[in-house]
Amino acid sequence: MVDAEKRQAATARLRQLAAAGTLTSRHVRLAAAGCGVSERTVWRWIGPQAPPADGRSRPGYRLSGADRAAFAFYRGNATAVHRARRAVVEGIGPPAGTALPDFLVQGWAGARPVSVHTLRRAFADQLPAAERALWREGENARRAAQVYLTRPPSVRNQVWEMDHKQLPILVLPPRGGAVSPWMTTVLDEGTRALVGWSIALNAHSGTVLTAIRMGLVQDAERGPFGAVPALVRVDRGLEFASRAVSEALNALGVDVHRLPAYTPHRKGKVERFHRTLEQMLLSTLPGFTGGPRDAAGRLHGPLDDRAAACAAAQTADVRPMGIDALVGRIRDWVTWYNTAHQHSALDGRSPAQAWEDDPAPVARIDPARLRHLLLAGVERTVGKDGVRWEGMSYTAPELQGRGGERVQIRFMPHDNRSIEVYVRGEHLCTAHPQAHLTPEQVEAIRAAERAETKRLRAAQRRSARRSRTELAPMTGAAPAAESRLRPAVDADELARRRCDRALAAKSSTSLLGLVDPTIHPVVQESENP
């Protein structure tokens, strides 16, 4: 196809030469070579019947309002539009046995006939691609043909983008049939780092809060991330609009920007991350529901995502992976993505490298101040091995002496390194799994046990003294302030004891400290029974 501007320039120049009487076949030959057409075509351009120099080979057909309305009425079918238009113009009756609406009959009254090819070319040339896609396929197709603005680059941890995604993969929960879990993601716009995430069977405000906390807290095992952002972009999901989420972010001075409905492109980075996760990881795992299917719609492979198969997945011979196994796979992949993935938008750097290279300051916060963002768990009873949770025993020095008590726990999903223990709404301690205690933690627990034992024994002695003080007056003995409970001793026994003490005092061996206490016991009890 000849470029219109090049054609206009060549035609104008050749006509100037023709008007001056200097036009030769060489000029036409050069123009034809420059425009990529034949010489005959160039002579036709500048001949007596030559088209205007604006580049159109013929005046062309201009769409009318009725044509555009018919294009929408017939869902983008240009052939159906031509059939209906021809029926009105030529008066040959209803097309294809269907009656025409009055607005089309009135709109085409007196119109000139055109061929179907001319009408198709007019729709292709005069209607934008987005409008044609809208009438043919709908709103999503129109958006795919739109041109959007891009945001300027931001510094690290300045803006977060948050979103939910139902993962296209089947997993087995602890109870029930196979399901597709939901993932809540927190992505840093400036460095493309996944700073927070959580996976649950159903998305709710608790998973949002825990994902936010992961993004706020710095953890050496996850990388250098972890700081308070200035702005968070979320969609219109009810989980993000909950009062708990808004209050938690507002309390930290974070502005929450709720985007208009059905505008995923305005948080396109997190949307692109979900596609990357699906393409790189989920598509390689068993149970991926976005793979090829047979003619009946069944997934290619050993797993089936139809309702009956999902309900019977727990007892099937071939079962999907457990949700804990999926969490482990995603955890490892996220670590690789944040620390090793070479991102094209970051000039080949990983998100961790981009974070480290960015000199912008970040605001840290003490993790102890963010316990309210943890996911609340059920109540548990403190047993002999501590608090049982997710198949592990958690213990801490503060749990000494609390066996049998009911406590509440809070935790981070997919992070079994610690849990937070509460008693009647008050924070008690941070408990760690016994199988992974460090020597320092073991010594702290043993020291707490010794201190608790010593404290209780001292309390027993104090209680015994108070009991004797209260009991002695009831026996009619010495005053309460001087009373002590002693075994009853008769007069002969007292006389024998005095004799033994006298003999022990006179013994020469006592001067050397060699008195055998088993033979000459030194009695120091009070004479008062």
Question: Do 174 and 232 share a domain, yes or no?
Answer: yes
Question: Do 342 and 378 share a domain, yes or no?
Answer: no
Query: What number of other Cβ atoms are within 10 A of residue 360's Cβ?
Result: 11
Q: Which 8-state DSSP code applies to residue 231?
A: E
First to last CA, the chain: 126
Question: Do 342 and 433 share a domain, yes or no?
Answer: no
For tokens 């200097």, the residue is 22
CB 399 within 8 A of CB 419: no
Structural domain count, the chain: 5
Q: Say whether 411 sits in a helix, a strand or coil.
A: strand
Question: Do 379 and 301 share a domain, yes or no?
Answer: no
Is residue 207 included in any domain, yes or no? yes
Question: Do 70 and 97 share a domain, yes or no?
Answer: yes
CB 193 within 8 A of CB 203: no
Question: Do 192 and 305 share a domain, yes or no?
Answer: yes
Is residue 402 included in any domain, yes or no? yes
Q: What is the CATH number of the domain that holds 241?
A: 3.30.420.10
pLDDT tens digit string along 467-497?
777 766 665 555 544 444 455 556 667 777 7
Question: Do 166 and 125 share a domain, yes or no?
Answer: no
Q: What pLDDT was estimated at residue 52?
A: 47
Is residue 208 included in any domain, yes or no? yes
Question: Do 172 and 270 share a domain, yes or no?
Answer: yes
Is residue 481 included in any domain, yes or no? no
pTM of whole model > 0.75? no
Is residue 253 included in any domain, yes or no? yes
Is residue 368 included in any domain, yes or no? no
Question: Do 135 and 11 share a domain, yes or no?
Answer: no
Given CA atoms 493, 495, 496, 501 in this order, what sign does their dihedral have? positive
Is residue 499 included in any domain, yes or no? yes
Of the candidates 367, 433, 352, 368, which has an alpha carbon nearest to the alpha carbon of residue 395?
433
Q: What pLDDT was estimated at residue 72?
A: 94
Question: Do 322 and 209 share a domain, yes or no?
Answer: yes
Question: Do 9 and 75 share a domain, yes or no?
Answer: no
Q: Which domain holds residue 511?
A: 489-529
Cβ contacts of residue 399 below 8 Å, gap of 6+? 382, 386, 387, 421, 428, 429, 431
Q: What pLDDT was estimated at residue 175?
A: 87
Q: Which residues of the chain register pLDDT less than 50?
A: 51-58, 480-485, 509-515, 518-529
Q: What pLDDT was estimated at residue 400?
A: 85
Is residue 268 included in any domain, yes or no? yes
Question: Do 416 and 281 share a domain, yes or no?
Answer: no
- Run of H or E including 511: none
* Cα–Cα distance, 132 to 138 (Å, whole number): 9
